[in-house]
Amino acid sequence: MTETGLDGPLTQALVGTRRFFTSAEVSADLRTMHAKGGRKGDAFYRDRWSHDKVVRSTHGVNCTGSCSWKVYVKDGIITWEAQQTDYPSAGPDRPEYEPRGCPRGAAFSWYTYSPTRVRYPYVRGVLLEMFREARHRLDDPVLAWAEIVGDPAKATAYKSARGKGGLVRSTWPEVTEMVAAAYVHTVKTFGPDRIAGFSPIPAMSPVSYASGARFNELIGAPMLSFYDWYADLPNASPQMFGDQTDVPESGDWWDAGYLIMWGSNVPLTRTPDAHWMTEARYRGQKVIAVAPDYAENVKFADEWVTTAPGTDGALAMGIGHVVLKEFFVDQQVDFFVDYNRRFTDLPYLVTLEPGEDGAYRPGKFLVAGDFDNAEQSSENAMWKPAVLDERTGEVVIPPGSIGHRYGDEGLGKWNLELGDITPALTLHHDKFQAVEVALPRFDSADGSLSHERRGVPVKKVDGHLVTTVLDLMLAHYGVERPGLPGTWPKGYDDPSVPATPAWASQICGAPIEQIIRLGREWAQNAVDTGGRGMILMGAGTNHWYHSDQIYRAMLVLTTITGCQGRNGGGWAHYVGQEKIRPIMGFQHLAFALDWVRPPRHMNQTAYWYVNTSQYRYDTFSADELNGSTGVFAGKGTMDLLAQSVRLGWTPSYPQFTRSSLELADEAGERGVPAAQHVVDQLRSGDLRFAIEDPEAPENFPRILALWRANLLGSSAKGNEYFLKHLLGTDHAVRASEAAPEQRPTDVTWRDEAGSGKLDLLMTLDFRMTSSTLFSDVVLPAATWYEKHDINTTDMHPFVHSFNPAIAPPWQSKSDWDTWKEIAKAFSALAGKHLGTRKDVVAKPLWHDTPEAMATVHGRVLDWRKGECEPVPGKTMPVLVEVERDYTAIFDKMTAIGPLLEKVGMLTKGVAYNVQREMDILRSRNGEARSGAGAGQPRMETDIQVAEAIMHLSATCNGHLATHGFKALEKRTGTLLHDLSAEHEGKQITFADTQAAPVPVITSPEWSGSESGGRRYSPFTINIERAKPFHTLTGRQQFYLDHDWMMGMGESLPTYRPPLDMARLFDETPVGEQNALGVAVRYLTPHNKWSIHSEYQDNLFMLSLSRGGQTIWMSDLDAAKIGVRDNEWVEAVNRNGVVAARAIVSHRMPEGTVYMHHAQDRLIDVPLTETNGRRGGIHNSLTRILLKPSHIIGGYAQHAYFFNYIGPTGNNRDEVTMIRRRTNQKVEY
Amino acid sequence: MNTFLFVILPYICLAIFVVGHWWRYKYDKFGWTTRSSQLYEDTLLKWGSPLFHFGMLGVVGGHVIGLLLPRGWTDAMGISEHTYHLFALVGGLIAGAMTVTGLVMLVYRRRTVRPVFSATTVMDKVMYLLLGTVILLGIWNTLASGVFGLGGKEFSYRTTVSPWFRGIFYGQPEAALMADAPLGFQLHAIAAFLLFALWPFTRLVHVFSAPLGYLTRPYIVYRSRAEHVARGLGNRSPQPGWERPSLDTSGTS
């Protein structure tokens, strides 16, 4: 036994004397001393943690974290922030949401008083001087602006100064007048569609998003999309699910039995949610990490699958081969069979067309209108695909297709209830006929096309030779069945043909045994757990040119095994997928649909592909880029884009070669409807789409406003082309333009590409960024601790608020207040210069409307070629004439317009009557007393906007949710409204969100259910309530039969390697060395110490990280070019130059470098050796490569909606040369 | 000139010393620190710091005996001049050697260990310079006078410097007593007073915060609230202007 006591006799003796020196009582055992008083020193420590106030807010940063924070204010100064802990419970038997928050968020308060804070309105000095002079002389700001931008010398003077400093302080009245004058002049001279606004990710702060969006849409200027532009939009989702993106919340990871993190580095990019992943492992979950490098998430995984970058599609097909063979052919699993019969297109019949080589080609879906059946002459008969009823042997039409979704006959029939029908998944029975089909493969090094001939069982239906999607898929995956002709693999270890494990292994590098094991475990887990297998898909698999194919191959795994629409199952696409849960209210108010419809929505990738003239550097045909299938032979990607625009598939602004206001005037003079006038003019050739002559000055974009956005520091793929053509300043473009024979044929080629197209670049921000450096006007914005707003994401089913801890300091203003100021100044100037005008809006054919039934069988007919008549809304864009009172923009912006009551609200095909909500808002927000909005609910303050958004969204308004479900029930004929019944009386108000994060309500706006407090998982309503997907068949669709999809060889998910940049662009093949260093694949993944460009300039993050621009490379590559850790390197390709420091690490694979994206040009960017100019940013080495399948429209799920579908700003196929700088002493 | 150097300057310096400490304590209580660099490096510190600090205690003790004890007192105790001299010389040199060795180690450490150097302020550098000067001059005086006997016979500081020094505290300093002292002693004294003037603004303030109490302190110290007269609820004393709810339970008001 140990003796108790102090440390030793000496201590004992010393402490024993204490009682002689103190009046305090020393305990008998000498361990404690009891003194009275003497606590004055406590005051300091109490004061350290006493504050004026503690305010709830969050960070409107694009990170999906949605962490609520306590912001502390002391003596009127924001001191720091700490994590909130009052989230709703995730449930009684699972971990909770907190702890939430990461080091980046915890460092935010630094920005409030940081040296890079924008404190005052700034204007480029040379521009401001000219404006003041002209304004004084002409006594009219609009004429002053017109003079400056109209004078080439003056315009060049300020445009060429962009990015070179010289911003000077202005005042709010002066700067708003100048900006308003620019808007008025541009609307008047060129038309409102020459203006654009860009702000991303409304979910992170919808009120702020709505501020500028509402102004832009009210004047008729397009808002630019972000999801596709960021390359975050997985086009596989609209293609397969008919849904933009819907994913499980992070709390649902807990429910999964098997979790694959595939290109998603959860602890790094989803830091506050990563705890779920580690917790779930204690529940027995198996975790797999697929990553080319030893990424942060790998150490959490049970297994690490290393793949070569960009080859994930092959891996997915290899796994799929195992699943299909062992669980669909070797045995039949009831769970899978039932699921696929009801919820996928596997049983649907596809016609086969004979090819010249004797083999058949997969063709179109067999639809009701194609053959003799009961529904042959029914409404929308060409939109109702068919299946074979296994029970009767007859070909029948199941309910639930897009043909049932619209029209009176489909009422009550748009559902997935099969009734007596038992769809046959395959035609492969005891007796069958078989033919050979030629299936495309692209797995050669250069990605070129070859064909594999394999047999499928067939049947004749009314003269059509048909087979099922599953039969095609089995052939495509090389899964042999008895009695079928063609070349089949000899076994799993046969690498010669797709899609065996050996074939996949040879491409992606993962061992064959691992691929087989993954396949077996994945499928068996689905069987054992009822579909609780989940794949977290990340940017590593999604930012490729062919990522839609990679994703489709991965989605085959989650879908055929019945994992979609399950808690703990399915795809979890975690790439910029923020979800604005109250989407209906947000959408209608942000895009001013309460005042004028339709809005102008633009896909941003195409916008910049055209307007930064990047199309002029495409030195290959669209066909070559896409694997030489022949479908696009002789056409440039630009030709396809122009075609897509004129067929009404995808939007394009500027619209036409003349102002849209002018066209309305002309129609008025002619006395014909505007749409008729435009069609006539287009047909005669007097009028063209602006995209057909983009270098004509009248077709330039003139004004771009950025708020909550850092285009030039973060997302601008082809940064140097932006600088050259859009801004007209110094740049590092090294590529040359296409030779005459490579140029687009349908688009006018002017010898001189535009330079300095943009007249005004304006940025609202609270910190200096690459974008503000290039802006002509920089306005000081309030930070996230200085304004009211709300915040939601898809990873958490709650809504919470921003609140000002302090008033916006210096001269900063909230975005809402800033745009109100601009609107006020604009409305005042419009009185003299604009008045009320008519505007012709061209809008593409929209998804979730009957317009999506424009292209029967996906057969492309071009009116320009005389293949059909130009019919607005059918074979070309919808053309609508609207009226805009430009003097009333401010009035309209600050009141909710009458259309919500008169026409109602419409979201994802469900119509709502919101008279009740408008009356409540009249009481809650008050009525506008005068002006254009008199009698309408007010929306003057940010809180009023937030209230309106939440009252007009079913996710926050239980009454509206039930109302919407009841409306939907009429179409589906099934029970749905019970899903939200428990919350019918609930209305989330702004005050609620201030008190604590509030759980949202199950709503028809989304596909999952939170009813009864369950975790959100997408498509649970579709699966559990038989509600169709918004696709052609109404099922999750593997087979895509649009002409372009078939032409590209992508009807079925297939592996396509990364683009061969050596062949396309004459870059050096990866691994080779020359005077410029070594050629490497250039990836730009997320940074651990920032959220995009936010925080990378934050002192705390700079201290925690190395700070400044860096490029990660492997020790092997570093040795090749003799570079040591932290030395300066220079990366050069045709697109530009980057000078950065090297981080040499063995965690990187050979042949690949990482430059973490969005390292702004403000921190440690020296002059380059290559051209002596300031080095670029990560996007200086990238450029836009547009994939034609993303601009298909007018065909069921392939139909446009804002951020729903669109060409991606992908960037991962890029390569670069990298070398050590000869001079390590850099200059700045 | 002598009057300024040996009368006015000492008083100015002492005034700064006293007022400076009061000011520093009042306005910079949380800056009252040794600015310890032990976290950054402790191999050199482990030897250098005790050598310097214990050496310094010896030096200070020597000065107390030499400066404050009048010669008459030691005589009265029967300590012969030779004994005193031997004791002072040997003791002084040992303490001096420890101090200098420690100081050299500490300065070397401070300059060569990067994190420690990064944590060094300008005031630190000035202080080190002055402190080093005072110490070196002191040792020089001891050596020059007591060992090498420079200047012929040993300088008797006990009859000149010491009475002058004590005079400062009596209020009757005699500059003349210092006027004839060797230059080394004069400089030592002047530098020392300058160091006193700098003292309150440097880390040297920690001399007054030596944690002697730790030696005898029990491990856990409880402090109950001081009792306030007529205190209300809560742990703060009543603030002016507010009537506090009373704990009085007599039932009358």
Q: What is the per-residue pLDDT across A809-863, written as a single tens digit (0 to 9) for each? A: 999 999 999 999 999 999 999 999 999 999 999 999 999 999 999 999 999 999 9
Backbone angles phi, psi at A721, to 5 degrees: -70, -35
Contact B224 A34 (CB under 8 A): yes
Looking at CA atoms only, how far is residue A69 from chain B in angstroms? 29
A31–B218 C-beta distance less than 8 A: yes
Q: Contact at 8 Å (CB) between A1198 and A1205?
A: yes
Nearest CA distance, B222 vs chain A (angstrom): 5
Query: How much is the pLDDT for B66?
Result: 86
Q: What does the pLDDT look like over A610-619, one tens digit per residue?
A: 999 999 999 9
Percentage of residues in chain A having pLDDT higher than 90: 94
Nearest to A35 among B216, B219, B221 (CB): B221
Q: For residue range A9-20, what is the model confidence (pLDDT) as tens digits?
A: 899 899 999 988
Measured in degrees and rounded to the nearest 5, phi and psi for residue A1067 equal -80, 160
A1153, β-bridge pairs? A1082
Residues listed for chain A: 1228
Chain B hits for A31, CB-CB cut-off 8 Å, are: 218-220
User: Cβ B222–A35 below 8 Å, yes or no?
Assistant: yes
Q: In this model, does residue B231 exceed pLDDT 70?
A: no
Task: Give yes or no for A27 touching B (CB within 8 A).
Answer: yes
Chain A residue at shortest CA distance from B214: A15
- For A1098-1124, what is the mean pLDDT? 95
The Cα of A54 is separated from the nearest Cα of chain B by a number of Å equal to: 22
Contact: B218, A33; criterion CB under 8 Å: yes
Minimum-distance CB partner of A17 among B30, B216, B221:
B216
Contact A35 B227 (CB under 8 A): no
Give me the residue label for tokens 């608020």: A801
Cβ(A320)–Cβ(A499) under 8 Å?
Answer: yes
Q: Using one digit for the tens of pLDDT, what is the confidence trace for B66-104?
A: 888 888 888 888 888 888 888 888 888 899 999 999 999
Task: Please report residues of A whose CB lies closer than 8 A to that of B220.
Answer: 31-33
- Average pLDDT (A190-207) is 97
pTM: 0.89
The Cα A872–Cα A676 span in angstroms is 9
Of the candidates B215, B217, B218, the beta carbon closest to that of A27 is on: B218
Is B214 touching A (CB cutoff 8 A)?
no
Residues 44-103 of A with CB under 8 A from B: 44
Give the pLDDT confidence score for residue A911 in this predicted structure. Answer: 95
CA–CA distances in Å: residue A309 to residues A447, A499, A609, A1061, A1149: 15, 18, 25, 14, 9
List of residues 6+ apart from A291 with CB closer than 8 A:
A261, A263, A265, A297, A298, A304, A305, A306, A307, A540
pLDDT in tens, A375-425: 999 999 999 999 999 999 999 999 999 999 999 999 999 999 999 999 999
To the nearest whole angstrom, how far is the Cα of A45 from the nearest Cα of chain B? Answer: 12
For chain A, give the percent of residues with pLDDT over 70. 100
DSSP state of A693: S
pLDDT, position A48: 82
The answer to whether the CB atoms of A32 and B30 lie below 8 A apart is no
Pairing outcome for strands A1215-1220 and A1128-1133:
antiparallel
Instruction: Among B30, B216, B223, select the one facing A37 at the smallest CB separation.
Output: B223
- What phi-psi label fits residue B237: left (phi over 0), alpha (psi between -120 and 50 degrees) or beta? beta
| Min Cα–Cα distance to chain B from A52, Å | 18
Judge contact between A593 and A602, C-beta under 8 A.
no
* DSSP symbols for A841-863: EEEPPBTTSGGGB-SGGG----G
- Tally Cβ neighbours within 10 Å of residue A691: 28
Mean pLDDT, range B141-159, rounded to an integer: 72
- Asked if B219's CB is within 8 angstroms of A32's CB, the reply is yes
* CB–CB contact B226 A35 (8 Å): no
Q: Is B224 on the interface with A (CB under 8 A)?
A: yes
Cross-chain residue pair B224–A37, CB shorter than 8 Å:
yes
From B213's Cα to the closest Cα of chain A, the distance in A is: 9
Express each pLDDT in A706-715 by its tens digit: 999 999 999 9
**pLDDT tens column, A1163-1198:** 999 999 999 999 899 999 999 999 999 999 999 999
Burial zone of A16 (CB within 10 Å; 0-12 exposed, 13-18 middle, 19+ buried): middle
Q: Determine how β-strand A167-169 pairs with β-strand A122-124.
A: antiparallel
C-alpha distances in Å from residue A205, one per residue of A574, A992, A1075: 19, 17, 49
CB contact under 8 Å between B223 and A35, yes or no, is yes
Instruction: Classify residue A943 as exposed, middle or buried by CB count within 10 Å of its CB (0-12, 13-18, 19+).
Output: buried
Note the pLDDT of residue B188: 93
**Closest approach of chain A CAs to the CA of B30, in angstroms?**
10
The answer to whether the CB atoms of A26 and B226 lie below 8 A apart is no
pLDDT reading at B7 higher than 70: yes
- Of the candidates A17, A18, A32, which has its C-beta nearest B222's C-beta? A32
| pLDDT for A628 | 84
Contact A582, A799 (CB under 8 A): yes
Mean pLDDT of A727-744: 95
Residue A7 — very low, low, confident or very high, per pLDDT cuts 50/70/90? Answer: confident
Given a cut of 90, is residue A181 above it in pLDDT? yes
CB contact under 8 A, A37 and B220: no
Rounded to whole angstroms, the Cα distance separating A15 from A1163 reads: 57
* A43 interfaces chain B, CB cutoff of 8 Å: no
| Cα distance between residue A1058 and residue A621, in whole Å | 17
A589 burial via Cβ count (<10 Å: 0-12, 13-18, 19+): buried
- A966 phi, psi to nearest 5 deg: -65, -40
A18 interfaces chain B, CB cutoff of 8 Å: yes
A985 shares contact with chain B (CB less than 8 Å): no
Give residue B200's pLDDT: 95
Check pLDDT > 60 for residue B248.
Answer: no
* Whether B217 contacts chain A with CB within 8 A: yes
How many angstroms away from the CA of A33 is the closest CA of chain B? 5
For residue B30, what pLDDT is reported? 85
DSSP bridge partners of A1000: none
pLDDT score at A943: 98
Q: Are strands A258-262 and A533-537 parallel, antiparallel or unpaired?
A: parallel
Phi then psi for A884, rounded to 5 degrees?
-125, 120
Residue B227 has pLDDT above 70, yes or no: no
Q: Other C-beta atoms within 10 Å of A283: how many?
A: 12
Provide the pLDDT for residue A434. Answer: 96
Cα-based distances in Å from B166 to A839, B4, B6, B169: 100, 17, 12, 5
For residues A944 and A926, what is the distance between their CA atoms, to the nearest angstrom?
A: 9
For chain B positions 21-60, those within 8 Å of chain A (CB to CB) are 30
User: Using N-to-C axis directions, what is the helix angle for A660-670 and A674-684, rounded to 10°?
Assistant: 100
User: Is A33 in contact with B220 (Cβ distance < 8 A)?
Assistant: yes
Residue-level pLDDT at B133? 95
* Per-residue pLDDT at A577: 80
In the A/B pair of chains, how many CB contacts fall below 8 A?
A: 50
What average pLDDT does chain A have?
96
Neighbours of A113 (CB within 10 A): 12
CB interface of B with A, residues 67-86, below 8 Å: none
Q: pLDDT (tens digit, 9 = 90+) per residue, A243-291?
A: 999 999 999 999 999 999 999 999 999 999 999 988 999 999 999 999 9
Contact between residue A892 and residue A933 where contact means Cβ atoms under 8 Å apart: yes
Shortest alpha-carbon distance between residue A51 and chain B (Å): 17
Give the tens place of pLDDT for each residue, A340-356. Answer: 999 999 999 999 999 98
Give pLDDT, residue A538: 93
A39 → closest Cβ in B215, B219, B225: B225
Q: What mean pLDDT comes out for the span A199-206?
A: 96
Measured between CA atoms, the residue of chain B closest to residue A16 is B216
Containing B185, the helix (H) or strand (E) segment is: helix B183-198
The nearest CA of chain A is from the CA of B29 a distance in Å of: 10
Give B218's contacts in chain A (Cβ within 8 Å).
15, 18, 26-27, 30-33
| Mean pLDDT of all residues in B154-172 | 85
Paired residues of B29 in beta bridges: none
Confidence of residue B225 (pLDDT cuts 50, 70, 90): confident
Q: Which token pair is A310?
A: 């960009």
Q: Is the pLDDT of residue B252 over 60?
A: no
Mean pLDDT of B35-55: 94
Q: What residues of B are in contact with residue A24 (Cβ under 8 Å)?
A: 221
- Supply the pLDDT for residue B152: 53
Residue A18: list chain B partners with CB under 8 A. Answer: 216-218
The alpha-carbon gap from A1225 to the nearest alpha carbon of chain B, in Å, equals 23
In A, minimum Cα distance to B30 occurs at A44
Q: Which helix (H) or strand (E) holds A789?
A: strand A789-791
> What is d(CA A1210, CA A1056) in angstroms, rounded to the nearest whole number?
15
Cα–Cα nearest to A186, from A213, A218, A146, A127:
A146
* Best mutation target, A18, A20, A25, to test chain B (most B CBs within 10 A): A18
Count of alpha carbons within 13 Å of A1050, Cβ hemisphere only? Answer: 28
CA distance linking residue A648 with residue A861, whole number of Å: 12
Contacts of A1017 (CB under 8 A, 6+ apart): A248, A249, A252, A255, A565, A566, A567, A568, A569, A570, A1008
Query: Per-residue pLDDT for B253 more than 50?
Result: no
Q: B 174-213 residues with CB below 8 A of A? A: none
